[in-house]
Amino acid sequence: MTDTSERTDQLEGQTLAEIGADESIELAEQAQRRQSLWAIRWILFRRSLRHNWALFWENRIGRFGLGIIAFFAVLAVMPTIFFATGYWNPAIYDPVTGLEPNPPVQRFTVVNEITDPATQIDFTRVLLDNRIPNDVLPGDVVEIPLQPAPPDSRHWLGTDPLGRDVMSQLMHGARAAFFLGMLAAVVTVVIATIVGSVSAYFGGAIDAFFMRLADLLIMIPALAVLIVIGAIFEFQLWHLAVVIGILSGFGGTAIVLKSQALAVKVKPYIDAARVAGGSNTHIIVSHVIPNVMPLSFLYMMFTVTGAIQSEATLSFLGLLNVRTSWGLMLQLANNQGYLLQGLQYWWLLFPAGVAVTLLAMAFFLVGRAMDEVVNPRLRKR
Amino acid sequence: MRHRLARWRWLAILAVFAMVAAACQTEPTEPGDTTTTTEAPTGTEPTETTAPPTAEGFTYRLAIFSDPTTTHPWAALDTENDVWTNYVNPGSGSLYGYQPPTYTLVPAMAADDEPPEVVADGDNWSVTVTLRDDVRWSDGTPVTANDVVFTFETIQKYDGLGGNFPSLWPLAREDDPATADVDESSDGVLSVEAVDDMTVKITFNFEPGLAIWPFSVGVAPVFQEAYWRPLVDASDSAETFYGNETLGYPNTGAFVTAEREPGAFWRNEAVADYWDRGAQYTVYENGAVEYTSASGTSETYGEPSGEVIAQWTEGPYASEALYTLYTDQNSAVLALTDGEVDFLLNPLGLQRGLQQLVLSDPDLNVIVNEQNGFRYLAFNMRKFPMNVKEFRQAIACRIDKEFMADTVLGGAAIAANSLVPPGNSFWHNPDVEAICSGLSEQERFERAVELLKQAGFTWTTEPAWDPDNLDVLPQGEGLTGPDGEEVPELTLLAPGPGYDPLRATYSLFIEEWANDLGIPVRAEPTGFSVIVDEVFATGDAALEWDMYILGWGLTPFPDHVFDFFTTDADSAEGGFNTPGYSNPEFDALAAQFKQAKTLEEARDLIFQGEAIIAEDLPYVVLFTTPIIEAYRNTVSYPFTTTLDGLQAWSGVPSAVTSS
Amino acid sequence: MTRYVARRLVQMAFLFLVFLTATWFLLYALPGDIVAQKYATNPNIPPEARRLAMERLGLDKPMLVQFRDYMVNFFTLDFGYSFNQYPRPVVDIIKERLPRTIVLFLTAVITYYWAGFAAGKYLAWRRGKRGEMAITVGGVALYTVFYPWFALIMLWLFASQLKLLPLGKFLDPDKWRNAPYPANDVFLRMFWLTLITSVVVFGIHLLARRIKDRTPRRLVAWAGTVAAVVAFLGYWWVGREGAVMRPYAADIAYHLILPVLTLTLVNFAGIMLLTRTSMLETMREDFILTARAKGLPEHMVRDRHAARTALLPVTTSLVLAVATVIDGGIITETVFSWPGMGEVLVSSVTLGDIPLAIASFSFIGVMALVGHFLVDLLYGILDPRIRVTAHG
């Protein structure tokens, strides 16, 4: 009978590790006496990197994804430059406590019955609006500061309902997204590599436990789990990253990496190492894990996509305590009722929503392109 | 061959689609449907001569955002008490009730204009209430004293019930001698007896103040014996009792529950021969009410003065009220603008950003009301430095509420100073002023520094105002208390930006202002339930937190002014006094308030109590939010200005007219 | 085989126990018990009432006693009462919500699998040609779109602006006024009838495969399918109950369109890319080369040979859709006013309704484990290559 691992193995087909292993034999013969194992590995790594980069670069979809990621990376470093050069005053442009002191004003005529909402304002509303002097009467003209205000030369993407600069929030949001995605991806890869290697190498009860756990984690809705954990612990951004990393590291990614490790386990050099008296830890650390690594980078990309989307959704549901993020920008707009008014408040509707979508997509596309590099059967004929 | 087959396949699929489409257009066959959705024109102007409206009216369409969980009015007051269930359940009836739109206490089932006074009765105290003879249950039978007795006996049978019942019908309990360690005794209603068919005597085991009679027991629900008796007799526990399906239960209101489709809609039908149909109400500015019953007898509650703020003839004009569930606010607003519903029922009102959208629609009317509630900053007075009055005053002085509400929050909030909002006009104290109100930022800062110095605080670096930058430079550092104790880092808990961006932003500004003074406050946006858990913790855990920002929604009768701050209500012992405020002078006022017999006397005590709180500042009241509502011009209401908005009256189904 | 199944079952039971325990303790650690949360906002409720409420819900007992009681009850299939809707049994609530969720998501999953498979087939075949980039990027953009945002825009566009489809909800209250059936009956009837029809059609196709000749084989397959569909439609038009129920079922079907369309747009790309990968791998297999060498037309090779084999991993990934479905449900059900299991999960957790939350989670846990087990079995049965390795 089969196991998930075999299935995934077939899905993924042969992988880089196999190519690497074949190459390593001839290379090792050349360099055996002069260089240590790690040095050989480094040479191989550089060579395969160059080779794989060339393959990757041929892929238009991958280039496109990488371009988007680069764009957001630039966006993420901009505020540091703007603040350092004094181009942006933190009192105005801080993404959380910034406030536009002189927002644009709109003039309204006070009336009892509105006929033209663009230039008129209801008298009863005026009375309840403390920003307007109390002694106005119908017929008077009042000036109401706009908050949120549409884009102008000072605020390229306008201001939000609390008078803060949307562009600055977008840039800080990009920073948060990169931080979250990268941390989650690293945690995933570390866990998945270890779990995958260990369960492939030892098999038996350890394998069964991790694989059933992975079965469960794959199918448990991650969002629901995150909601529970978010309700218990006060979620900061890095907490979320670690939890996503754990869920994905013990889940699907572990299964894939285990199947990869299984393929490595049956290689002659593993037997050789065992015969030579290498300890289990030694074999796992210096033979299995390095050969599983390349594939794990591929899965990092998919984890980043998942992490960015989870953060946005949790923020949107109001379950996350972060100071700035794209999800939070949308949540505020929604909470204050600016989201679903057609295109009138487009600067609140589009920037964050499009940014989440694009960056998640970019990482996914890069992952796909890497898949084609790693998996030769998907390459062009 | 292949080609022909493929086309044939398409035809089959098209046929299926056509049939589905046809089925979609087929009107459902409704054998029992007697209602019609075309509205008959009815008189909307309340005049003396208006004929009683007929039952053949229109469908009043309302949107709700969460599924009502039960059709059982008892359960709706007990464990399943949530705002949505209470919107759609017409309730049952009570001796006295609140008069819209002013919240004046007026007779409902009771006959006396003013609630009768409690008198000493042997060891106990009792009140005797005469019932009106024209009040009818929706099945046409009259309300009698036995209904009141039955209601109380049922509550006794189920050991007081839970949820809101203990606050409406508090049960007198004796201490159980079997358990020595717990004191089970409690003050409450001892017995309810029917003196005759139309007179009921309620006995208390203590001398109740206004908060209990009439503001708890007087407005407590009364249920019809004939309908409920068999169900109660058949159920040994409240659990089984609540398990009954009770659509269409009789009540004294204008509507009865008729249909419920969980997850989709709820429908109430108008009572054809509603006893109060055609009654005339005239409500004056000061809350006084002139009432002419359907049979023509006139009554006046209070001394009418000032303008008439609302005048109408009681309906119902609608033949049914249809509540449709929209689980997302955005789709509910779209439903309103698209004409699917007439009104949105939402305790929070419309989101602020939607105001402009709604205003620009000629078919929609917007109303803005004040909310009966406030958001506040609380200090943990059990700890240094929050136990120093000048410290609290210094922070309060630094908070520029008007700047926050008008500039930072862009008018989404209204600065508030009083524990009773202005909209609750009878009880509001207009003389309560915020500390440092009207001062400029520099003056506020200087006054705050002065206050701290006054109390003996010192700095290693004293903060100073820099007139060039219009800011505090340098900021204070190394703040030390009068006893040489250094001020530790303080945490300010506030709901996160996801839950309430207004309070989250407010907390960040308070953090900044406090830091200017050298007070090391750190704002910590966190989950609502986390804050509740921490600040209502009992015992030593009550020492954990430093400051927090939360909010209260209030009842019309403002006994919270005392409940929140008396010594015996300390949250460390399970009460609601979270700051741990303790002031003998204040406690004495609270005791007097509990015994107050007239509304004027009670109001005077409330005013005095509020003045003390405004000086001592266990709470700093920060702001309140307006409640914005919108309705389609297909309906019109007898009034639109009322505290908490029209949602507080569940959308006034009994008097709404179609226009 | 039997030994393998037995071992898997024991493993699953053990893991479920671990899962249940972990869930219970996680939920128990939720801040703010429900009594405090409900009563903290009402100062008129005396502490005494709070104590009684805690007692009634059993929250006053020590944690380990509560845990033991819960476990004992759980395995006697007593899932307790909802705290928030006390004294409503948890099972009642799940029974009310489940049919809606199943009908919505089954329809959606079938639609987007079908759409994704068709698109993936096309994509694999057009490998490296024009259009591939556009379809891939477009599909992935939809796949990674920020879903709540996208769903709201869909609602606004189709329901409010174009007025083609209803504004959320699963029925029109005006059409259902005094309806003779509760909506859940109609949901269940729709579900079972569609399921039975699908199974019958599937069975007919399996039987037809045994017929050697091509013409009678197609005839049997098509005649059988048509007969099943006619019987299905006949029930709704001629059947005694079906005819009464039809307008109601049609109303639900009409309300299904928008959420299903949205879910399909967002999810099809995942299946599309999987199909593409699977097809590309299959196309390197010998039998495809043989088929080509025989001179069979391209569409024949694609649809009859490559696609069928490639379908295998795609079909088995179907079961993984359970997680997607529930994750998507949390947002979809809210935006489209379709209160189902997703909403139960979120609200029970945020309100601290522990019994309801655990019951929903364990329900999902059981589905997850059983689903995965079935996939593994199914895969072994369908793919001869694996059967060999497993026995070898």
What ipTM goes with this model? Answer: 0.88
Q: Does B415 touch chain A (CB under 8 A)?
A: yes
Span C81-111, pLDDT tens digits:
888 887 788 988 988 888 888 888 888 888 8
A89 lies in some domain: no
Residue B438 has pLDDT above 90, yes or no: no
Is pLDDT above 90 for B193? yes
Predicted confidence at residue B152, as pLDDT, reads 96
pLDDT value of position C43: 63
If you average pLDDT over every residue of chain C, what do you get? 82
Least confident interval from A72-76, B407-411, C271-275: B407-411
Chain B contact present for C214, CB below 8 A:
no
Residue B35: is its pLDDT beyond 60?
no
Highest mean pLDDT among B192-201, B565-574, C26-35, C356-365: B192-201
Contact A320 B350 (CB under 8 A): no
Question: Which pLDDT band holds residue C381 (cuts at 50, 70, 90)?
Answer: low
Closest CA to A128 of B405, B650, B360, B620: B405
Q: Where are the alpha helices (DSSP H) in A85-150?
A: 90-93, 123-128
Q: Residue C276 — pLDDT band, cuts 50, 70, 90?
A: confident
CB atoms within 10 A of CB B461: 12
For the beta sheet containing B626-632, the strands, ordered from the edge strand earlier in sequence to the opposite edge, are B255-261, B265-270, B318-325, B58-64, B343-344, B626-632, B364-370
State the pLDDT at residue B15. 38
- The reply to whether A216 and A347 lie within a common domain is yes
Coil/strand/helix, residue C124? helix
What the block records as the tokens of B227 is 């309908």
Identity of the amino acid at B478: G
The SS3 of residue A139 is coil
Residue C176 above 50 pLDDT? yes
C168 touches chain B (CB under 8 A): yes
In the predicted structure, residue B109 carries a pLDDT above the cut 90: yes
pLDDT of residue B588: 95
- The CATH class, in words, for B373-624 is alpha beta
pTM: 0.86
Residue of chain A with shortest Cα separation from B531? A234
**Residue B49's pLDDT is what?**
37
Q: Which of B272-286, B304-318, C25-39 has the lowest mean pLDDT?
A: C25-39
Domain boundaries, chain B: 8-369+627-658, 373-624
- The closest of B432, B433, B435 to B394, measured between CA atoms, is B435
CB contact under 8 A, C176 and B264: yes
Searching chain C, which residue's CA lies closest to the CA of residue A307?
A: C144
Q: What pLDDT sits at residue B275?
A: 93
The average confidence (pLDDT) of chain B is 85
Confidence of residue C382 (pLDDT cuts 50, 70, 90): low
Per-residue model confidence (pLDDT) at position A5: 36
Residues of C in contact with A5 (CB under 8 A): none
Q: Give the range among B255-259, B323-327, B592-596 with minimum mean pLDDT.
A: B592-596
The dihedral of CA C382, C386, C390, C392: what is its sign?
positive
CB contact under 8 Å between B498 and A331, yes or no, is: yes
pLDDT over 90 (residue B26): no
- Host H or E run for residue B298: strand B298-301
Q: Give the count of alpha carbons within 13 A of B305, CB side only.
A: 3
Residue B40's pLDDT is: 34
pLDDT at residue B648, as a whole number: 92
Domains of chain A: total: 3
Judge whether A381 is closer than 8 Å to chain C, CB to CB. Answer: yes
Q: Which of A155-159, B4-8, B50-54 holds the top average pLDDT?
A: A155-159
Integer Cα distance of C332 and C260 in angstroms = 10
Q: Are residues A271 and A141 in the same domain?
A: no
Count how many Cα atoms sit within 13 Å of the Cα of residue C278 in the half-sphere of its side chain.
28
Q: Among residues A221, A196, A378, which one has the least CA distance to residue C321?
A: A221
Q: Is residue A229 one of the residues assigned to a domain?
A: yes
Question: For B31-43, what is the mean pLDDT?
Answer: 34
Task: Please enumerate in sequence order all residues whose Cβ is within 8 A of that of C196, keeping only pairs 6 or more positions apart, or say none.
Answer: none
Instruction: Choose the closest CB to A219 out of C145, C350, C368.
Output: C368
Residue where one domain finishes, among candidates A145, A177, A194: A145
User: Do B558 and B424 meet the contact criterion of CB atoms below 8 Å apart?
Assistant: yes
- CA Rg value for chain A: 27
pLDDT of residue B344: 93
**Residue ranges of chain A with pLDDT lower than 50?**
1-21, 381
Tell me, what CATH number does A170's domain have? 1.10.3720.10
Closest by Cα among B577, B559, B571, B586 to B619: B577
Mean pLDDT of B320-341: 91
Flag the least confident range among A5-9, B488-492, C235-239, C257-261. A5-9
Question: Which helix H or strand E contains B164, and what residues bound it?
Answer: none
B238 contact A CB<8A: no
Which residue from C minimizes the CA distance to B187? C46
What is the reported pLDDT for B2?
37
Closest residue to A224, CB basis, from C127, C141, C326: C326
Residue B622 has what pLDDT? 94
Kindly state the DSSP code that residue C231 receives in the 8-state scheme: H
Q: Do B80 and C46 touch (CB under 8 A)?
A: no
B243–C contact, CB cutoff 8 A: yes
Q: Give the C-alpha separation, B112 to B106, whole Å.
A: 9
Handedness of CA A323, A327, A330, A332 (dihedral sign): negative
The whole domain housing A134 covers 105-145
Which H/E stretch holds residue C5? helix C2-28
**Chains contacting A (3 or more CB pairs within 8 Å):** B, C
Task: Give the closest-approach CA distance of B203 to chain C in angstroms.
Answer: 20
Q: For position B14, what pLDDT does the model report?
A: 38
Q: Assign B28 a pLDDT band (cuts: 50, 70, 90).
A: very low
Among A218-232, B66-80, C202-216, the range scoring the smallest mean pLDDT is: A218-232
pLDDT reading at B189 higher than 70 = yes
d(CA B312, CA B652): 12
CB nearest to C330's CB, from A10, A223, A231: A223
pLDDT given for residue B266 in this prediction: 96
CATH class of B8-369+627-658: alpha beta
Partner-chain contact C146 A357, CB within 8 Å: yes
Antiparallel, parallel or unpaired: β B58-64 and A141-145:
unpaired
**Binary contact (B35, C218; C-beta < 8 A):** no
| Residue in B351, B409, B499 closest to A162 by CB | B409
Residue B115, both tokens: 């609630």
Confidence category of residue B180, pLDDT binned at 50, 70, 90: low
Which chain B residues contact residue A317 at CB under 8 A? 498
pLDDT > 80? residue C229: yes
More confident residue, C303 or B487: B487
